[in-house]
Amino acid sequence: MVKLGIFVMLYSIAIAMKVVCGIAESLKEGEQWFRDKISTNKAEQKVTKLHFYFQEFRGYTTDVVAQANSSATSPTFFGATFMMDDPLTVGPSQTSKETSTMEALSLFWPPTQ
């Protein structure tokens, strides 16, 4: 059973790597297509790329909004649903300037055995 778990984990990592590489390639292709095809004007167009960083750390709102009867005693929080209201920052550091807040929903389930 342990060998199966290791196999599934390695297989998942391999698939995830292919997906991430594919997304990166498709983004580059999409940007190139946009530059080549959509541009109706030969003058240089101004493009703005926005990056926001969702920070999860103590001191901000994270509340349980739903849970199973056994969630409170479960070490994996199985069946618990959390709602978060955490800051968006301009950089990856937690000390970066806060621009806004973002609400998110987080669900917990145990790993496959």
Domain that holds residue 95: 53-107
pLDDT digits (tens, 9 = 90+) for 16-55: 666 555 555 666 776 776 676 665 665 666 777 777 777 7
Q: How many domains does the chain have?
A: 2
* Closest to 94 (Cα-Cα) out of 51, 50, 52, 55: 55
* Cβ–Cβ under 8 Å, residues 81 and 65: yes
Domain boundary among 45, 64, 79: 45
Nearest-10 Cα torsion for 13, 16, 20, 22: 120
Nearest CA among 48, 50, 51, 49 for reference residue 93: 51
pLDDT tens profile 52-97: 777 776 666 777 778 877 777 777 777 788 787 778 888 888 788 8
The predicted structure's pLDDT at residue 113: 54
How many Cα neighbours within 13 Å face the side chain of 10?
Answer: 6
pLDDT of residue 42: 59
* Model pTM score: 0.38
112 domain-assigned? no
Residue 91: inside a domain, yes or no? yes
